[in-house]
């Protein structure tokens, strides 16, 4: 501990207030701080904390260049400094382990080569979303997918849970763009979502604030109007539960969570909805569970 040759840290989404004291200490301690951050405040802070060793990797991006190529170049740059014997701090915006292939791969390769390396936690956009939209992921459960991965890899949704789709503004585009991405996958995404929700189910386009004093973007939209809802490259889609859960009353009774058969008629607490929307009404109470049947979750 504390003698690592590579430490990966996160600057948070809003650097002022969200960068941890542990991360600040490692930036100061490092011989070399290579960073990829999303705002000038974060960059200025890193340069202030380590003026001699700070180096941006933003120049590795290029218009229409495959992002995976840029990520691999970042990894090689980081490991190159580690191999030179420098104590390296790799700083990335948000949480360094969330949607961050170069950070994970840098740690993995460094360890494989015999170097001591670790990752420190940071504040992610998901953390900001839970706070800004007053959502508890433990209530109803939460599914979280990168949008393109969700679309092409057969991912499935439980419509009684919270659902978060990341990077909907770069859907189906594997390259880097400075302005607008080619979101040609909208029809396929909507077609898949309509398998689980009504086209008029209300979802929310969310963007975490980057600067102090700025409010988050929380824009309600029906799913069918999603392509016209002002989605940007940093937008996240939050979909509230579209139906109540289907409890397995027989299992609950066998676990002692229902003390008597009549408890099955008790209605579960309603999950608050963001922005004051009314929660979905629970279904009528089912009959008392029988010992020979089970209402299974699909």
Can you list the domains of the chain with their CATH numbers? 6-123 (3.40.1010.10), 126-239 (3.30.950)
Q: Is the dihedral of CA 108, 110, 114, 119 positive or negative?
A: negative
Q: What pLDDT does residue 294 have?
A: 33
Q: What pLDDT does residue 185 have?
A: 86
Q: What percent of the chain has pLDDT over 70?
A: 85
CB neighbours of residue 257 within 10 Å: 11
- 89 vs 16 pLDDT, higher one: 89
Q: What pLDDT does residue 287 have?
A: 40
Q: What pLDDT does residue 283 have?
A: 38
User: Rounded to a whole number, what is the distance in angstroms from the first to the last CA of the chain?
Assistant: 45
- 210 vs 30 pLDDT, higher one: 30
SS3 breakdown of the chain: % helix, strand, coil, rounded to 5? Answer: 35, 15, 50
Could you read off the pLDDT of 242-273 as tens digits, one per residue?
999 988 888 888 888 876 555 444 444 444 55
Active site residue 14: no
Q: What pLDDT does residue 284 have?
A: 40
CA distance 255 to 70: 52
Q: Which of 7, 235, 2 is nearest to 121 (CA)?
A: 7
pLDDT-derived band at 205 (thresholds 50, 70, 90) equals: very high
Distances (CA, A) of 290 to 249, 256, 296: 9, 14, 13
Work out the mean pLDDT of the chain and round it to a whole number.
Answer: 86
Could you read off the pLDDT of 91-116 as tens digits, one per residue?
999 999 998 899 999 999 999 999 99
Side-chain half-sphere of 151: how many Cα atoms within 13 Å? 20
Q: What pLDDT does residue 184 have?
A: 79
Q: Which of 198, 172, 201 is nearest to 185 (CA)?
A: 172
**Catalytic option among 93, 145, 197, 238:** 93
Beta-bridge partners for 88 = 6, 32
pLDDT-derived band at 179 (thresholds 50, 70, 90) equals: low
Q: Which of 273, 123, 126 is nearest to 201 (CA)?
A: 273
Q: What pLDDT does residue 200 have?
A: 97
Contact 190, 155 (CB under 8 A): no
Q: What pLDDT does residue 177 have?
A: 67
Tell me the mean pLDDT in the region 56-85.
Answer: 92
**Catalytic option among 71, 145, 249, 253:** 71
Active site residue 93: yes
Look up residue 73 and give its two tokens.
Answer: 């170049």
Active site residue 145: no
Q: Is the pLDDT of residue 125 over 60?
A: yes
Q: Which of 136, 157, 132 is nearest to 147 (CA)?
A: 157
Q: What pLDDT does residue 268 have?
A: 45
Could you read off the pLDDT of 2-25 as tens digits, one per residue?
789 999 999 999 988 899 999 999
pLDDT-derived band at 295 (thresholds 50, 70, 90) equals: very low
* pTM as predicted: 0.80
User: With the CA atoms of 156, 280, 142 and 227 taken in that order, what torsion angle do they form, in degrees rounded to the nearest 10?
Assistant: 60
Which residue do the tokens 């057969």 mark? 154
Could you read off the pLDDT of 208-255 as tens digits, one per residue?
998 888 999 999 999 999 999 989 888 999 999 999 998 888 888 888
């Amino acid at each position: 501990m504390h003698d690592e040759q590579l430490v990966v840290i996160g600057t948070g989404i809003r650097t002022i207030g969200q960068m941890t004291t542990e991360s600040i200490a490692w930036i100061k301690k490092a011989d070399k701080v290579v960073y990829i951050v999303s705002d000038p405040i974060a960059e200025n802070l890193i340069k202030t904390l380590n003026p001699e060793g700070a180096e941006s990797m933003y120049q590795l991006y290029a218009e229409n260049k495959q992002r995976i190529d840029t990520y691999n170049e970042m990894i090689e740059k980081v490991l190159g400094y580690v191999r030179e014997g420098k104590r390296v701090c790799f700083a990335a915006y948000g949480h360094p382990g969330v949607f961050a292939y170069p950070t994970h791969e840098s740690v993995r390769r460094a360890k494989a080569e015999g170097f001591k390396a670790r990752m420190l936690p940071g504040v992610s956009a998901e953390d900001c979303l839970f706070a800004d939209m007053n959502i508890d992921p433990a209530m109803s459960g939460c599914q979280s997918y990168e949008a393109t991965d969700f679309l092409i890899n057969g991912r499935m949704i439980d419509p009684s849970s919270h659902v978060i789709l990341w990077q909907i503004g770069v859907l189906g585009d594997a390259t880097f763009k400075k302005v607008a991405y080619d979101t040609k996958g909208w029809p396929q995404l909507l077609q898949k979502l309509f398998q689980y929700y009504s086209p008029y189910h209300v979802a929310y386009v969310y963007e975490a604030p980057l600067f102090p004093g700025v409010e988050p973007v929380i824009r309600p939209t029906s799913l069918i109007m999603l392509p016209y809802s002002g989605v940007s490259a940093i937008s996240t889609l939050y979909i509230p539960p579209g139906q109540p859960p289907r409890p397995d009353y027989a299992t609950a009774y066998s676990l002692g969570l229902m003390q008597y058969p009549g408890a099955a008629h008790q209605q579960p607490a309603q999950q608050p909805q963001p922005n004051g929307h009314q929660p979905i009404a629970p279904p009528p109470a089912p009959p008392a569970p029988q010992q020979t049947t089970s209402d299974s979750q699909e």
